[in-house]
Structure 1
Amino acid sequence: MKPLISVIMPVYNCEEFVEESIRSIIKQNYTNWELIIVDDASEDSTLEKISKIQDKRIQVIGLKEHHGIASAFAEGYKLAKGQYIVRHDADDISLPTRLYIQQSHLNENPKLGMVSCLISCFTRDQSLRKECIFIERIQNYYKSNDDIEKSIIVGFLPIIFPTLMIRKEILDKALQENKAGPFDDQMELLLDLIKLSPVEKVNTILYSYRRHKNAYHIVNQKEYDQYTAKLLKDNSIRNYFKYKEFYKNLNLEVEKENQLNENSKLRVLMMVDALNIGGTETHILNIARKMIEMGIYVVISTSGGPMEVIMKSYGIKVIKIPIDSDYISNKKKFGMIKAAKDIIDQEKINIIHCHLFASMQLASEIYRMYKIPYVVTIHGLFYPNNIFYPTCVEATRIIAVSKPVKEMLHNKLGDKCGDKVVVIPNGISKNYVNTSPVEVDIRKELNIPKNAGVLCYCSRLDWNKTHAARVLLFSFVQVLEEFGNLHLIIIGDGPGRENLEKEAQVINEMAKKEVVHMMGAKVDVIPYYRNSNIIIGTGRVALEGMMCKKPVIAVGNQGYIGIVSESRKNIQWDMYFGDHDALEKPTVTNLVRDIRYLLMDMDRRISIGRWGRVWCEKMFDIDKCVNEIVDIYIKALNK
């Protein structure tokens, strides 16, 4: 009979413990397993100890040269026949019910790719007893998948690899992508596995984890601790788990080949401090995509962030460099300059387009040293005052995304900016709505009736936008009294999310059903807009709402502007939908007034939505915006 479980045990110089470890597998009350022991060229009597144990389910492989746990495991894995895989350490012990309980859990939970368990940590060495107690308590504290992922976000991995039972198809995928690190505990593989599948622990101690002074972790403890801390601090790892919901509709397994036109005369380095979730980063994504479509060579340099994965999924080449937001006082400044110059030389860059604080400073330094022209885009009013003079004066062109931003630049720089400042708004594609699958039914997913009214607020939940969301929640409670069949969707993430979720929970308890839906950040917001009657937000959210033919209520960092309509279009543009200027602060009074005005007349909503689409296409077309930017590049190179 083909074994269901393959236990792979790499062994090296473990004569003292290996026999006990092997017998713990033989004593399992579940019997459909195979044990593949891979001796990694032991120099003691390990092989002799193994040979004393006879069981037809055991297969022993002897390697001629010592290469480490990962290599030994790989050799054993080649022979594995089981659907479930366990890598068992040769100095540890599995309790008799381990294999039965873990395989039962996987059989009962087909969506789970692997399962771990609680541990007991033991030692014969008195000096290691306190450490053992601590390891056992902290490992057994984190049990659910959510708790494990939250722990990784804060820099601690609460799973010991050999406690896992893993589906072979999941391990196959992870091993294809995995690159072994400098330490031999397969932590990189473990993190790749957790990215591919949820993991949880059965609430039972099934594995005895031994600590002794010859153990791998203790022999290499200082270097190993430093490396694991560095690995878990990597933003790409933290962001993956922090923004898992954000990524879930994206095919992360297929990264498109970089779309690069080697024959382009324009070779642009788009430089941005970090690729966080927000309007600035979405704008950079869209202009980069459009330029690539036009045949322009575009590369993005950044310190990384959750949007990095999105960029790569569109075939945009992203190169990470250590851009530090505290650039001016940073002692690593010259390291950043060198890293950027290496990219410029390798990619044959002839113009830089920078967007945020450190990127602007870095581009200006490169210009002073190497005379590579650069363009600056100022995305809002949030830039520090001391950033403008040293970075904008020598820029070829300064792009302001709105009129208030242009006025701010003239106030800060005066005659120094001369005629360099040009207003080019954030653009949006006429095909924006077509990029999302129409079969996604958000109302069904959220259990919202087809005849219910839906408000949708979308924003990063930070700064004054969190305050606006809070005012909206209070306004929603009032409107709900009049329009009982009403729901509110809030899309976004940030420091304010946790408190807003608590307030939303109170409203849902009062309504005795879920009427406020906190969705977190989303890659694709179009299905939410399609299923809503009114969009509330600012900047890019306003543009997206209009492109979906929805009426928009504009409220942003600076305050409240109200309904975007033909009679108010100039005010909306002059104030950039409340994000760069405003008429008043958001209040329950003005929000309730405008929500009621739109909810009471469906024809009015449809009319405003249709007008908004036409105005948006005319005023904010991405093709027009990108053509203006490209003209700036060409003039800069021809100077």
Structure 2
Amino acid sequence: MRPLISIIMPVYNCEAFMEESIRSILEQTYRNWELIIVNDGSEDKTEEKISGIKDVRIRLVNLKQHQGLTYAFLEGYKLAKGDFVIRHDGDDISAPNRLELQLKYLLENPQDGMVSCLISCFTRDQSLAKDCTFVERIQNHYVTYEDIQKAIIGGFIPILFPTLMIRKELMDKVNFENKTLELDDHVELLLELIKMGKVRKVEAILYSYRRHKDAYHMQNEKEYNKQVSKLLKDPSVKNHLQYNDFYKELKVIENKIQVNEKSNIRVLMLIDALNVGGTETHVVNLTRKLIQRGVYVVVGTSGGPTEAILHSYGIKVIKIPMDTDYISNKKKFGMLKLVKNIIDEEKINLVHCHLFASMQLASELYRMYKIPYVVTVHGLFYPNSVLYSSCIMASKVIAVSEPVKEMLEAKLEDKIKGKVVVIQNGVSTDMLKDSSRSADIRRELSIPRNAGILCYCSRLDWNKTDAARVFLFSYSQLLGQFHNLHAVIVGDGPGKEGIEKEAQVINEMVNEKVVHVVGAKVDVIPYYKESEIIIGTGRVALEGMLCSKPIIAVGNQGYAGPITERTRDIQWKMYFGDHDALEKPNAARIARDIKHLILNPEARKKIGDWGKSWCERNFNNDELVREIIQIYKNTLSDLR
């Protein structure tokens, strides 16, 4: 049976254009549709015009009073019976083959939740002619999902809502009760749908968009632009677009963590943002372990994709609009008052902060309210101004490696004497248990069962993008000798687009997809387990060793080489290339080390088994969390 398409047309005082718009639906080459016209209390002859067009597939709903086109659309949506939904404007025109071509696309591309099309923009008002030309050209410039995604992240919406054909099952997932839907343009609804399902455009002009001075955009231009700007500044929109696959991977945790509401240790865990990276993963795991051990923890952050993991465990997250230069911002005192209210409501007695703005905020809270705080410094990248303003008054400063401790003591000298302690970021066997056992990355990436896999995992930012680029070059040098060897790049960030282009060059060079750039992943363990060798630094190195895999360490500071029993002490001191290194990343050196391990499977197994044992003994998360809890207790005890 052919799918039914529900076309919903909310109209208000549209007698001048209604008939032409409806006729464009009647002339469609695809015939199995229903047209639900919702007359939003029109005061002209709109109802009369509609009633004069006879077709059993047309249903007219007359609202007694004007409620707004969004309200009218939702009233029509309640009556929709189709498998696919279109919201059609009463002053625009659809090409005769629009339904046919858009339906064909969605039937052939089940992974996409909706499809748009190219437009023509027309007007009878010559004063709008140039505006019309601009709208048409810029809307038709963005076609692929990637292009549309980049445009929205950049602050521009390249899709007109009426051009969409949407799967009804996708629309049904929208909780309209939680949406303000202030704009009759449906921008908020469009952004919500794009969070849930990919969209691209059929490369044909299928919709004619009419510009006239009575149009909603023209009548409400100032308010419209203000609301659109506000919606696009919402970080959750950009996060969902940039980390779409990451969000899809999130699992529903059935057993939420039990919170000890009566705990005497009540911590506000501050982190600027919850993006995808080692620091953020550490904060998530630390918070989870602390709560499991009876510490009351609330996370304060501006948000980010990793926030969803905290929510999945039932951990309380409070939004604080932090940025790195908030201290110089006029909103400083408002921010402090907001956080002080959180501290009072949650009965917080200790703050634990991690990144730039968080550290500045914690030090200001101490200055004004004498709330004690602990700082964790995660690397060598902290500006001197932040270290001086925050570490000196902290109760304790945790350095995640020896080089970080040395850096702090060299810069702050006697000002932090006795305050710095090294507690490395730990890992836990829990991550192996929590990992998705059903994940089959070879099937997902079409990698043969007998192929070898090299896995590079890192946030693609700063020097780590350069490290990824050098790894790809070294991998390309090995392809002549190892024909059945694939490379998987796990990670996201500003450098991802460049890495994708270089991967494409290698794939085209060998006429086969051998490099796979998979983006950020909630669960990286399946990628580690399927790999022969893991290339990375910091937390990646620890997680890889926990999976019994040999690690070639390369990070922000440069190349550190294979992690072995012989090199373990120097590797730890360098934090596996992230805080110090032996040399700059060198493609020939990396290729040589990879080749050696590929040709010696027994050595790979021996190194992997040793690495797992060493990691479990020295980087056990449970033990490290105990040390942090003791710091909390000592800090609170000193206040009494």
| Band of TM-score, shorter chain | over 0.9
8 Å CA contact retained: 2:170, 2:193: yes
Task: Give the aligned partner of residue 531 of structure 2.
Answer: 532
Structure 1 partner of 2:577 = 578
Q: Which moves more between the two structures, 404-413 or 376-385?
A: 404-413
Paired residues of 1:255 and 1:312 also in contact (CA < 8 A) = no
Question: Which sections of structure 2, spanning at least 5 residues, go unmatched?
Answer: none
1:473 and 2:472 correspond: yes
CA deviations over 1:248-306 (Å, ceiling 9, x no partner)? 42258x99978644233322211111122211111101101112222332221112223
Take 1:323 and 1:113, find their aligned partners in 2: how far apart are those partners? Answer: 34
State the match for 2:438 in structure 1: 439
Q: 1:378 to 1:332 in 2, by over 3 A?
A: same
- Residue pairs, 1:558-569, within 5 angstroms: 558-569=557-568
1:259, 1:316 within 8 Å by CA — same for their partners in 2?
no
Amino acid at match of 1:473: L
Question: Which SS does the other structure have where 2:128 is aligned?
Answer: helix
> Which residue pairs with 2:400 in the alignment?
401
Is 379-388 or 203-212 further displaced after alignment? 203-212
Counterparts of 2:584 and 2:111, CA distance in 1: 47
Distance in 1, matches of 2:508 and 2:88, equals 48
Partner of 1:498: 497
Indicate conservation of the 8 Å contact 1:175/1:189, yes or no: no
What stretches of structure 1 of length at least 5 have no aligned partner? Answer: none
Does the residue aligned with 1:567 lie in a helix, a strand or coil?
coil
Q: How has the CA–CA distance of structure 1 residues 176 and 314 changed in structure 2, closer, same or farther, with 3 Å as cutoff? A: farther
Asked whether 1:28 is paired with 2:28, we answer yes
1:10 Cα deviation from its structure 2 partner: 1.4
Larger displacement relative to structure 2 (94-103 or 286-295):
94-103
- Report what 1:630 is aligned to: 629
State the Cα RMSD in Å: 2.4
Q: Provide the secondary structure at the position in 2 that maps to 1:319.
A: strand
Relative to structure 1, the CA distance from residue 257 to residue 38 in structure 2 (aligned partners, 3 Å threshold; closer, same or farther) is farther
Residue 558 (structure 1) shift? 1.9
Q: Mean Cα displacement is larger for which, 275-284 or 229-238?
A: 229-238
Using structure 2 for the length normalisation, give the TM-score: 0.94
Aligned to 1:214: 214
Instruction: Tell me, in whole angstroms, the C-alpha distance in 1 between the residues paired with 2:231 and 2:369.
Output: 35
- Residue 12 of structure 1: aligned partner: 12
Aligned partners of 1:570, 1:595: CA distance in 2, in Å? 21
* 1:177 to partner: Cα distance: 7.0
**Partner of 1:354 in structure 2?**
353
Distance 1:582 1:103, change over 3 A: closer
Find the residue that maps to 2:470 and give its secondary structure.
Answer: helix
Aligned twin of 1:125: 125
Distance 1:506 1:206 in 2: 35
Structure-to-structure mapping, 1:31-110, within 5 angstroms: 31-110=31-110
SS in 1 for 2:576: helix
Secondary structure at the aligned position of 1:34 is classed as: strand
What is the one-letter code of the residue matched to 1:22? I
Counterpart AA for 2:55: D
Any residues of structure 2 matched to 1:156-305 within 5 Å, and which? Answer: 156-176=156-176, 179-251=179-251, 260-305=259-304
Q: Is the 8 A contact 1:255 1:315 kept in 2?
A: no
CA contact (8 A) 1:149 1:241 kept: yes
Residue 534 (structure 1) shift: 1.3
| Cα displacement string for residues 110-154 of structure 1 (whole angstroms, at most 9, x for unaligned residues) | 443322222222222111111111112222222232322222222
Q: CA 1:481–1:35 in structure 2 vs 1: closer, same or farther (change >3 Å)?
A: closer
After TM superposition, the score normalised by the length of structure 1 is 0.94
Query: Does the aligned pair in 1 maintain the 2:259–2:292 contact within 8 Å?
Result: no
Match of 1:321?
320
> Quick one: distance in 1 between partners of 2:177 and 2:289?
30
Aligned partners of 2:119, 2:468: CA distance in 1, in Å?
Answer: 44
In the aligned structure 1, how far is the partner of 2:616 from the partner of 2:71? 58
State how far apart, in whole Å, the 2-side matches of 1:585 and 1:100 are.
Answer: 57
Tell whether the 8 Å contact from 2:70 to 2:181 is kept in structure 1 after alignment: no
Distance in structure 2 (CA, Å) of the matches to 1:549 and 1:497? 28
- SS in structure 2 at match of 1:173: coil
Q: Which residue of 2 aligns with 1:151?
A: 151
* Deviation (angstroms), 1:68: 0.9
Aligned to 1:411: 410
SS at match of 1:440: coil
After alignment, is 598-607 or 615-624 more displaced?
598-607
**Does the CA-based 8 Å contact 1:258-1:317 persist in structure 2?**
no
> Which amino acid in 2 is paired with 1:75?
E
SS of the residue aligned with 1:413?
helix
